[in-house]
Structure 1
Amino acid sequence: MTAPVSDHYSAPRRSALAATVVALVASVTGCAGTRAPGDEPAPTGQALVIGASLELTGQGSALGTQQEHALRILAAKLDVDGVPVGRTRRPVRLELRDNQSDPTLAARQAGELAGDEGIQALVGGTLPETALALEGVARKRKIPFLSLAPGAAVTGSPDDEGYVFKLTPDDADVARRLAEAVAAQKLRRVAVLAAQGSHGDAGAEALPTALKAAGVRLDRTGRLPATGSDFRAAVRRVATGRPDAVLVWATAPDSGAAAKELRRSGYRGAILFDSGAVAEQTLRGTEASAVEGAYAVHPMSLNGSTLTSIAGSALARRDFMYRYLQEYGEYHGFAPYAADALELVAAAARLADSLDRGRIRAFLETQVVEGMAGWYAFSPSRHGGMEADSLAVFVVSQGAWTRIS
């Protein structure tokens, strides 16, 4: 398949972004391990503390545990020399909580964390439901919150002074790229299988518009039952019409389970996933043979690629991947989001010369940077998500994600 690569930036736009990245890479990498020989370390001050509510167990654990690993790796790296804030270097401390994929528990944890005056920002929520629960508390308590869940774009609001930021791609951008991939293969009739919940709702809403724009006919849309349920009935309803492709919009482990049922039902057409499928479970166990040859749209960082040739950004990504492999044995493409969240907060604190939550929020919304997962271009009116130009198409080949566009 040779899906076209959409360029959403003009040359001047890309040049401006690249110039900003150079400055920000320098500012962030200055936080860890870059002190010149002979330099005296700055005095140590109050810690930069990040509160995180993550799905370490339950439905979202496939993605939540990756974020815990990423936070630990970046915190250890930044803590080598500390984060320079004003005339002091601040140690980095994480306050990690397992929300068990439960929005009610996530909201309670957010309230506890936000109530601690020593915490500068909240990170978390790989499920839309838990992210929304965290977001509500962050808005009320006026603490910067960096969401890791897929979903609609987050924007600044006069009511909350823009305390919420989103790092994952927007649904419309992922849907557009999936539709382009289908059209590039000259597949004309497709069906959609969307998960239950907010994530599935977003896909079911975004895909019809994207498919129509690409000249692809949507035959039918089916909804998968709750995680852990029997998917056979839902799968057979969409496979009955023998579509050229089935687009599965769901997070792991539902993505692989849906693909397995599609193949078991006798369906032999193309299968395409949104970025929520990119997790270890999708390529392992009984789903492995079912997903071989399937496609996914995901930020191109999945295989270590960068959007630019900027040395600092490429080196940071390679270093993160090496550390992740060394610590946990296998690198996962969803992992860099939490690492980027921590880097963004550290850079904002450095630029603000302060650990004040309001000042960190103000400097978060000025950042235009290529992180390890992809490009971010925050502004007072736009707090997410990842830039569309970060997305690429991958295929599962011999049990691994291989970039094809």
Structure 2
Amino acid sequence: MATPAFDSSLLTRRSILAAAAGSLLLAGCGQQGERPDGESSASAPGNQDLVVGASLELTGRGAALGVPQQRALEITADALNKVGIPVGNLRRSVRLEVRDNRSDPREAARQVAELTRAGVQALVGGTLAETSTAMAEAAQKVKTPFLSVGFGDGIVLPLAARTFSYKLTPDAVDVARRLADLVESQRVRRVALLAAAGLHGDSGVRAVRSALRGTGVDLVRTVRLPATGQSFASAARRIATVEPDGVIVWGAAPDSGVAARELRRAEYTGPVLFDAGAVAEDTLGDANARAVEGAYAVHPACLGVTALTATSTTDLERRDFNYRYTQRYGASNTSAPYASDALQLIAASARMAASLDRGRLRAFLQTQVAEGIAGGYAFTPSRHGGMEPDSLAVYVVAQGAWRLYA
């Protein structure tokens, strides 16, 4: 797999920046022992690998999103290691050091320090906003670049205290704007918001309120869900009582599917609209299938790429990633590409920096403009996340699968 590449078919802010960046983003690798410019390069000794540490929710409430990220890292590392990464005059291999943070922010922070002491040059992780925030704080102390795959705008804010952290998931404000547009297009006039507990839900509440301001849509009630694993029945009934025309469920799997199920049990029959955190295989599981059929979601436009629909280099890379994931694990996973993009961005930064120095990796990460598997990124010194707004699309659940809606 090539590192995330500029897709010239996308005339967007990031495509213009990428065109200006020129050859810095042409990160394709040649055959083993050859650099892309034709010069020979030797393989680095084993102790000079690009070592990436990952702290992920392999167990606990974040496992529905954490396990696919681990799998994506392994698939992408295998692909990169087929040819290696040219760093200076040596071709490096990627070595992963993966830890289970058990969905515990304190454990995630501890693992950041542990992995940095063990010699990792960069960090990936935190599918939960709380674990990602803890990792960002810890990464700043040890000055190790950290790429978050979690949902929550505060992960990389305030920027002055997060200079080593970058977020790959969409910003809540961008997702909320697309949801607001969708609600208006559906002639929904009274909408309710059911938001998850914690930092991700906090971002959603702020973003939805802002996005609906000035529209013809009234936010008639906002209810916060209890912690994952507790009963959502009472929260769902409080939403159903006000008889909204539509309900926005803002939360990550597994909460999203459970919330939709409880809304239907509370006799709410209108449309359900999800944010990007819901788009995971767990949401479409058998227990939720009837409740989520017909539901909408705003998510990066990387779902459902096939041999027939792949029309660009990026689409082909998405298709190939999904194929490898399916071959190895039996089914593709819509939440997996974030970690793949994180590893590709780190590899591209090492190539551009011609070094594995953490400070240099950070310096080149904050100039990355790339089209990845999940979507597009345009990091700058004043913007460390998240995904570009024009990467987002609207999907609808039809016959148990996510289908492109608009």
With the length of structure 2 as denominator, give the TM-score of the two structures: 0.91
SS at match of 1:119: coil
SS at match of 1:260: helix
Q: Tell me the distance in 2 between the aligned counterparts of 1:257 and 1:341.
A: 29
Q: Deviation at 1:225?
A: 1.1
Counterpart of 1:30 in structure 2 is 29
Q: Deviation at 1:304?
A: 2.9
Counterpart of 1:229 in structure 2 is 230
- Residue 142 (structure 2) pairs with residue 152 (structure 1): no
SS at match of 2:91: strand
Instruction: Report the CA distance shift for 1:292/1:12 in structure 2 as closer, same or farther (over 3 A).
Output: closer
Deviation larger for 186-195 or 201-210: 201-210
Counterpart of 1:126 in structure 2 is 127
Per-residue Cα deviation, 1:113-159 (whole angstroms, up to 9, x for no partner): 1222x311000000000001111110111000001111116368455
Per-residue Cα deviation, 1:336-371 (whole angstroms, up to 9, x for no partner): 100000000000000000000000100111111111
Query: What is the identity, as a one-letter code, of the residue corresponding to 1:51?
Result: G
Per-residue Cα deviation, 1:41-76 (whole angstroms, up to 9, x for no partner): 623241000000000111000000110010000000
Counterpart of 2:16 in structure 1 is 16
Instruction: Report the CA distance shift for 1:106/1:58 in structure 2 as closer, same or farther (over 3 A).
Output: same
Counterpart of 2:63 in structure 1 is 61
CA root-mean-square deviation = 2.4
Instruction: Report the CA distance shift for 1:339/1:34 in structure 2 as closer, same or farther (over 3 A).
Output: farther
Deviation larger for 130-139 or 204-213: 204-213
Counterpart of 2:239 in structure 1 is 238
8 Å contact from structure 1 (residues 256, 281) kept in 2: yes
Counterpart of 2:95 in structure 1 is 93
Counterpart of 1:115 in structure 2 is 117
Q: Tell me the distance in 1 between the aligned counterparts of 2:25 and 2:316.
A: 10
Q: Tell me the distance in 1 between the aligned counterparts of 2:102 and 2:138.
A: 18
Instruction: Report the CA distance shift for 1:375/1:24 in structure 2 as closer, same or farther (over 3 A).
Output: farther
Query: What is the identity, as a one-letter code, of the residue corresponding to 1:163?
Result: F
8 Å contact from structure 2 (residues 258, 288) kept in 1: yes
Please list every run of 5 or more consecutive structure 1 residues that lacks an aligned counterpart in the other structure. 1-9
Counterpart of 2:73 in structure 1 is 71
Query: What is the identity, as a one-letter code, of the residue corresponding to 2:74?
Result: R
Q: Tell me the distance in 2 between the aligned counterparts of 1:150 and 1:20.
A: 30
- Count residues with an aligned counterpart: 391
Instruction: Report the CA distance shift for 1:21/1:325 in structure 2 as closer, same or farther (over 3 A).
Output: farther
Instruction: Report the CA distance shift for 1:317/1:169 in structure 2 as closer, same or farther (over 3 A).
Output: same
With the length of structure 1 as denominator, give the TM-score of the two structures: 0.91
Q: Deviation at 1:329?
A: 1.3
Per-residue Cα deviation, 1:249-280 (whole angstroms, up to 9, x for no partner): 01111111111111111111110001111111
Per-residue Cα deviation, 1:96-124 (whole angstroms, up to 9, x for no partner): 000010111111111101222x3110000
Please list every run of 5 or more consecutive structure 2 residues that lacks an aligned counterpart in the other structure. 1-9
8 Å contact from structure 1 (residues 164, 383) kept in 2: yes
Query: What is the identity, as a one-letter code, of the residue corresponding to 1:77?
Result: A
8 Å contact from structure 1 (residues 17, 369) kept in 2: no
SS at match of 1:113: helix
Deviation larger for 185-194 or 328-337: 328-337
Q: Tell me the distance in 2 between the aligned counterparts of 1:39 and 1:351.
A: 16
Counterpart of 1:178 in structure 2 is 179
